[in-house]
Structure 1
Amino acid sequence: MPADTAAANGPADAGAPLFSARIREASWSRHQGLDPSADADAVKDPGVFDRLFDGSLSVDDYTRWHAQQYFVYEAIEAAAARFADDAVAGPFVFPELARVPALEADLRFLMGPKWRSGIEPLPATRAYVDRIDAVSADWPGGYIAHAYTRYLGDLSGGQAFGKAARRNFGFEAEGASFYEFADIKSPKAFKEEYRSRLDAVDLPEADKARVIEEVLLAYDHNGAVLAALGEGLGRNPFEPKVIAAICHHMNIDHVADTLVICQGAGGQRGAEAARMTGFDGEGADFAVLVDGAEVAVRVQWAGPLSERAEVRPEIVRLFTESKAALENA
């Protein structure tokens, strides 16, 4: 943090709230809205946070939440790499904050070595990632806003999430390593330093106001992801590791068959490529390349499934019927 920046801004801003305080004040209501204890008397369905703290969140739904976070941090840390040497955003790029390696380790532990084949961003997550990519493409303030919102949250309330996950699921390290910041000895001191850098950041007032608006938008996107996850709590009878293994098998060993299913049962006759991205008791999800763009396709099972052994025969049926339909078209 350049010492002369703070000195130069000091006299002109005498008596005005510090930038970090302005961000905290503006985002307080959003923060409270995500806090399950903020309104204990409100009538609502328990969400991800509520179930984590009361011990009713399943390890499968915890894993699905972890997977969505992976995509968000992947985007933020790609932006960090771009801004590492930037005069404005560079002071907010801390290697010790990086979460992607920990998330990868956790997901490998939770889902097995084929974990990457079994995760796909929800539409709300994709919108969040697209926003991070767009606003931090060439604007330092965009990176600062999204990094601040996520990382300082992880060092604050996120620590309670980690404790709850370790308590509920018996994790010792992997599984909840996302919440461990081994290279930060004092989260309190680190957060104070981070806020001091915010107070000294060399941004014009218009950009500071824009950063605050972007922080609020980051909270809204995070809330949308949590709401989407909340809608699916307890509804998928298949473990994430099972989904990852079957998706990997289809996408590596049965690439042509997957494409046939999407062209036939999926109704995408012009599909150029396809991959299975997930499934539940009602149907399977695919990402299909059509005219150079990837589109989501949902194919329903003939009836509800609940056991791993039921999935293969249903996929064989879909392939057989799709192949026949394409040949007779």
Structure 2
Amino acid sequence: MSADTASAMSFSARIREASWSRHQGLDPSAEADGKREPGLFDRLFDGSLSEADYTRWHAQQFFVYEAIEAAGDRLADDPVAGPFVFDELARLASIEADLKFLMGPKWRSGIEPLSSTRDYVDRITEAAAEPGGYIAHAYTRYLGDLSGGQAFGKAARRNYGFEDDGASFYVFSGIKGPKAFKDEYRSRLDAVDLPEDAKAALVDEILRAYDHNGAVLSELSANLGRNPFDPKVVAAICHHMNHDHAEDTLVICRGAGGRPEAASARMTGFDGEGADFAAAVDGGEVAIRVAWARPLTERAEVRPEIVRIFTESKERLEA
């Protein structure tokens, strides 16, 4: 886009034009040779996305909105970013309610950011040090939720029989007229008090937000249907290990996990092939993967395998 063309357009129109191709390709499910495999969005709309994989997607959004809304709280009184902080847009409480419904009261023990989600959250935190960075990430997510996100909520309610719980993330009860609200939001973008270089940076940051979101969807799509354990089961067992057997978890990470220097540890998840942990090492946290002795498919198989790994870890450390 030429400088003359950009100056002739409203800022909100400039954003829409610059991000349109990213928006169209948001669910990256095409192979390099052009053969298309159904991605997460495809499966949601055709009804083949399992409720478990829907839940895992929902869980990743928790971390993204936690970062955005922490930045919004910090910038609420900022003269530039403040006009884009709306209480009625906040999603975190709704995501928490949905995850409690989907995973049970111990849901927080059963979710962990994917590597792509960690990168996304880190970028939000870094970018939101400036008002334009916050605006870019808030605009990308919230206006998307008010637009295409409504179709996601409709599909979730249709596929899984949800009423409110499970898909309340997509319900904006404080916004009576979504079109009027989006028009007002865009008018604020058009009037935003930023110099041209900051506006250009804001547009670039929106494109980065799309790319990060696409990376999360890609990582999720690559693992659809691969975990035989329901997220509720994962949350319950992780909570049990972390609250009732914290010392055993640490022994596993020091022994089987190969981190004898770990100061503390927690179980972060598991699937049919192995268990995931996070251990505190040298003031940071490192991810640890411990394979099962054989593939597991049933909840009843998990406890004996954890006991085996703990016993072998203890023997290794005592040798």
Asked if Structure 1 and Structure 2 have the same fold, meaning a TM-score greater than 0.5 normalized by the shorter chain, the answer is yes
| Alpha-carbon distance in 2 for matches of 1:37, 1:247 | 31
Deviation of 1:35 after TM superposition, in Å, equals 5.7
- Of residues 200, 216, 232 in structure 2, which corresponds to 1:241? 232
1:78-125 per-residue CA deviation (whole Å, 9 max, x = no partner) reads 000011000000000000000000000000000000000000000000
Give the corresponding residue for 1:126: 118
Answer yes or no: is the 8 Å Cα contact 1:68–1:122 preserved in 2. yes
Structure 1 runs, 4 residues or longer, greater than 4 Å off: 35-38
Measured in 2, the distance between the counterparts of 1:173 and 1:48 equals 22
Aligned match of 1:232 in 223, 232, 237?
223
Q: Contact 2:252/2:314 (CA < 8 Å) preserved in 1?
A: yes
Deviation at 1:37, TM superposition (A): 11
Aligned residues: 313
Could you list the per-position Cα deviations for residues 33-91 of structure 1 after superposition, in whole angstroms to 9, with x for gaps in the alignment? 026899xxx63111110000000000000000000000000000000001100000000
2:183 maps to 192
Partner Cα separation in structure 1 for residue 126 and residue 24 of structure 2: 27
SS of alignment partner, residue 34 of structure 1: coil
TM-score (norm 1): 0.93
For residue 300 of structure 2, the aligned residue among 262, 284, 309 is 309
* Structure-to-structure mapping, 1:104-123, within 5 angstroms: 104-123=96-115
Rate the CA distance shift 1:80–1:15 in 2: closer, same or farther, 3 A: closer
Q: Which residue pairs with 1:170 in the alignment?
A: 161
Aligned residue for 1:43? 35
Of 187, 204, 226, the match for 2:195: 204
When normalised by structure 2's length, the TM-score is 0.96
**How do residues 139-178 of structure 1 correspond to structure 2 at under 5 angstroms?**
139-178=130-169
Given residue 214 of structure 1, which amino acid in structure 2 is its aligned partner? E
Q: Deviations over 1:242-294 (max 9, x none)?
A: 00000000000000000000000000011111000000000000011001110
Specify the SS of the correspondent of 1:284: strand
Check conservation: 2:274, 2:292, Cα contact below 8 A. Answer: yes
2:63 counterpart letter in structure 1? F
Listed as ranges, the matches of 1:1-329 within 5 Å are 16-34=8-26, 43-137=35-129, 139-328=130-319
- CA gap 1:186/1:265 in 2 versus in 1, 3 angstroms: same
Which amino acid letter does the alignment assign opposite residue 24 of structure 1? R
- Deviations 1:162-204 (Å, cap 9, x if unpaired)? 0000000000001000000001011110000000000000000
Aligned-partner SS, 1:319: helix
For structure 2, which runs of at least 5 residues remain unmatched after alignment? none
Give the 3-state SS of the residue equivalent to 2:121 in structure 1.
helix
CA distance in 1, matches of 2:231, 2:257: 23
Change (3 A) 1:14 1:250: closer
The structure-2 alpha-carbon separation of the partners of 1:84 and 1:146, relative to structure 1 and needing over 3 Å to count, comes to same
Which residue identity is paired with 1:51?
A: R
Gaps of 5+ in 1: 1-12
CA distance in 1, matches of 2:27, 2:83: 29
Distance 1:14 1:246 in 2: 54
**Is 1:250–1:276's contact at 8 Å kept on the other side of the alignment?**
yes
Classify 1:165/1:325 alpha carbon distance in 2 versus 1 (closer, same or farther; 3 Å): same
Query: How many angstroms apart in 2 are the aligned matches of 1:183 and 1:320?
Result: 54
1:134 partner letter: E
Residues 123-157 of structure 1, C-alpha deviations (whole Å, 9 max, x = no match): 000000000011112x0001000000000000000
Which residue matches 1:4?
A: none
Query: Do the aligned residues in 1 keep the contact of 2:98 with 2:166 (CA within 8 Å)?
Result: yes
Distance in 2 between residues matched to 1:303 and 1:37, nearest whole Å: 30
Cα contact 2:69–2:90 (8 A) shared by 1: yes
